[in-house]
Chains A and B, each alone.
Chain A
């Protein structure tokens, strides 16, 4: 079967994000960017399924500005076969991305879409669910294990208090949770090969998708700085402060 994986370009997880001074968003100019970690897990999953023989072709898709090609190359270096870049400088919200991925999925006639459960930049956790609804496909979110069983996928989901085992019929959308796998480091020869793999460039217009934002960001601010701690003199004082000042007991 053919698989589509979505790969988002976000601020590198090791970089401390800074809010722009005017509060309109997070500073991304001259900041190191990388593939969203959950998208790495999604890509890794597709590559493992291909190595295991249940997947024939992996298409990686990324929506956003020109630089997203780098993120696609990362996916290609990990083992995706080709890339689709939906190029736009517009702000993209989950619904818009879901619509774009829907038309890519249909165009490419894939049977499975694997996405990260969320992106670490704005933590929406919506795209996969919206995409499944738009396509009218089954969905299995927060996957920590995926097994192909004929026309079905057996998916283990991480839910509050334990694991849930479900079976979904293909075609389906699956979103990857942290423990699904440990993504590989791309090998040097594969980085070189990735350069030669094809990437198609499309636009929202060409796909007939209106990406106008539906949400308006009012303000972005830094989390409040932690206040310095104090040393208490005795246990009694600690209990007193917890009761009366912090009011937590």
Chain B
């Protein structure tokens, strides 16, 4: 058994923390009653664990290959993709008008977690396709939608996002690819894009590239970038495939991880110009990217959670099997390493952080559903503000934490963790990209201190702090040492977040470099406290369920123990992070640049 979806925890989080039952009452989600959701999760688990998980290691060792512009994915990937598409998974969250299933974000989030945990390299292709679908949904013309969306939703064609160039990574304003009007309404692209995930592959007959480029008289910088759609094969009016477009895959990268996923250098216009069509209006490309950014960043945030879950499952299995040493409390028998307190500490740390990340991500997913579907405009706005504030946390904190958990997974394995054969090294390597693409952690933290806190003077954060404090009334009703400890540490953590956030809001306009120096610690602080908030809610729900005698007592007791661990080992660090946020900036900036 290489991976099974943690269905019990997923369901607990969906029901107790993310309000699954409320979802069905939102317009358009009538089909998402508990029974259907259960069936969807069960079947997704089967697909993920039986088909995708066994290919994960093959992807790592066999890798995507490039020859003469043609990319071959690892053995088994293409078949798995075709089955994935045939079984309708590709369009799970898409608009039914184009053949999608229109499932709520909360449900697709759990399902996406499974794909990513089972096989991260595989999951990237559907993820990018859905990003491209979203761009076209958002700003594509009706004709563009008709031409591309049905086949992209069904998975017959895949999509890519072509943003990065060698001089334009975090700073997309530096994009240089040129788009010249051809006179017939289309444009001709010339330039080179790098790091394009699934920019070329053997899954499907066509690939629909979304490309950022500049028109000839576009203004400099962010306000001069436009978004284009450029198919690998041009599509005729009747929907059939026409000429091969002037887009070539020059090479694929040799990477630290996600070897199964081709990362392509794409060259546009070597033969005079690739045919492309403007999406939306000229010079508004980056603005569109920002609208889509929430979905993309959220999706990558899930990768941190997913890899953490996979690494945890593997570590538990190994810790039960590996016999080494004797019980520190005495006895001659050799024991499985799970008996050693420090191994338990590592496993608990992995478990607690994974569950905290899941709770935070699913709660944010559910808020996205409410933000888009709630009948009340005020509720929509309130949820949207929460989502906007939380996206950098889900992306930045979950991927950083995913790395930590994957690293602990290696540590639990001892020397075998460093040896590829166990597979845990792959999780560690694969996890590493997640803090980089779709905006590095620093870029998330910039977004947090700037757009999310600095711009509104910290109001959204203050509202969040208030919501966290409101939980205290419920926590106060609980008895027992676990609940009391959690209550006390959450109160301290929330106060620390408030201090850190207020400092950033106040200093943002005055002392920007020092604030920026503490931005990643602030992001971590916020992640740690949000995780604590959700684990406190989980503890509350578990104690209530136990009192009502409802459910699996073993699971509920474990949930309480895990929440308590989170409080004592993770949440307790919030105060330290707040100090770094508030006082740590000067030390970062003190030394002369030349002294490095």
Q: Give A residues with C-beta under 8 Å from B.
A: 14, 29-30, 32, 34, 69-70, 73-74, 77, 185-192, 194-195
Contacts and interface: CB of A to CB of B under 8 A. Distances in A.
Given A70-B35, A73-B35, A191 B43 contact: yes
Nearest to B83: A185
10 contacts: A70-B35, A74-B39, A77-B43, A185-B87, A186-B39, A186-B43, A189-B101, A191-B36, A191-B40, A192-B31
B45 to A, nearest CB: 9
A74 B31 CA distance: 16
A70 B101 contact: no
B83 A70 contact: no
Contacts of A190: 88
A70 B38 contact: yes
Contacts of A77: 39, 43
Contacts of B91: 188
Contact of A30 (B35, B39, B552): B552
Contacts of B551: 30
B195 interface: no
A172 to B, nearest CB: 31
A32 B46 CA distance: 13
Contact of B47 (A70, A185, A192, A194): A185
Given A188-B88, A188-B92, A195 B4 contact: no
The 3 nearest A-B residue pairs measured at CB: A188-B88, A30-B552, A187-B87
Contacts of B7: 32
Contacts of A73: 35, 39
Nearest to A69: B35
Interface residues of B, number: 29
B386 to A, nearest CB: 29
Given A30-B552, A70-B38, A195-B35, A185 B88 contact: no
Which of A74, A188, A189 counts the most B-chain CB atoms under 10 A from its CB?
A: A188
B89 interface: yes
A186 B88 CA distance: 9
A79 to B, nearest CB: 13
B101 A192 contact: yes
B554 interface: yes
Contacts of B555: 30
A16 to B, nearest CB: 10
A113 to B, nearest CB: 25
B587 interface: no
Given A77-B39, A188-B40, 17 more contacts: A14-B4, A30-B555, A185-B43, A185-B51, A185-B83, A185-B87, A186-B39, A186-B43, A187-B87, A188-B91, A188-B92, A189-B101, A191-B39, A192-B101, A195-B31, A195-B33, A195-B36
B88 A189 contact: yes
Contacts of B329: none
Nearest to A78: B43
Which residue, of B39, B86, B551, has the highest number of chain A Cβ atoms within 10 A? B39
A215 to B, nearest CB: 30
Contacts of B33: 195
A29 B8 CA distance: 13
Contact residues of B: prevailing secondary structure: helix
Nearest to B40: A191
Interface string B438-466: 00000000000000000000000000000
A192 B36 contact: yes
A194 to B, nearest CB: 7
B369 to A, nearest CB: 17
Contacts of B554: 30
Contacts of B101: 188-189, 192
B88 A194 contact: no
A30 B557 CA distance: 14
Nearest to B111: A188
A76 to B, nearest CB: 10
Given A14-B1, A14-B4, A195-B31, A187 B86 contact: yes
A82 B46 CA distance: 23
Contacts of B43: 77, 185-186, 188, 191
A188 B89 contact: yes
Interface string B329-356: 0000000000000000000000000000
Contacts of B42: 34, 74
Contacts of A191: 36, 39-40, 43
Given A14-B1, A14-B4, A188-B101, A194 B39 contact: yes
Nearest to B92: A188
A21 to B, nearest CB: 13
User: Which of B38, B88, B555 gathers most chain A CB within 10 Å?
Assistant: B88
A32 B6 CA distance: 11
A188 B87 contact: yes
Contacts of B88: 187-190
A70 B39 contact: yes
A160 to B, nearest CB: 30
Nearest to B99: A189
Interface string B254-294: 00000000000000000000000000000000000000000
A74 B42 CA distance: 10
B326 to A, nearest CB: 16
B29 to A, nearest CB: 12
A195 B83 CA distance: 22
Contacts of A70: 35, 38-39
Nearest to B50: A185
A23 to B, nearest CB: 20
Most chain A CB inside 10 Å of its own CB: which residue of B42, B83, B554: B42
A185 B46 contact: yes
Nearest to B91: A188
A185 B47 CA distance: 7
Contacts of A195: 31, 33, 35-36, 39
Q: Which of A70, A73, A192 has the most CB of B within 10 A?
A: A192
A25 B94 CA distance: 46
A69 B33 CA distance: 14
Contacts of B4: 14
A188 B111 CA distance: 11
A70 B35 CA distance: 8
A67 to B, nearest CB: 10
B52 to A, nearest CB: 11
Contacts of A194: 39
A71 to B, nearest CB: 10
Contacts of A32: 7
Contacts of B51: 185
Nearest to A76: B39
A187 to B, nearest CB: 4
B129 to A, nearest CB: 15
Interface in B366-408: none
Nearest to B43: A186
Contacts of A187: 86-88
B103 to A, nearest CB: 8
Contacts of A69: 35
A210 to B, nearest CB: 31
B108 to A, nearest CB: 11
A32 B42 CA distance: 10
A34 B87 CA distance: 20
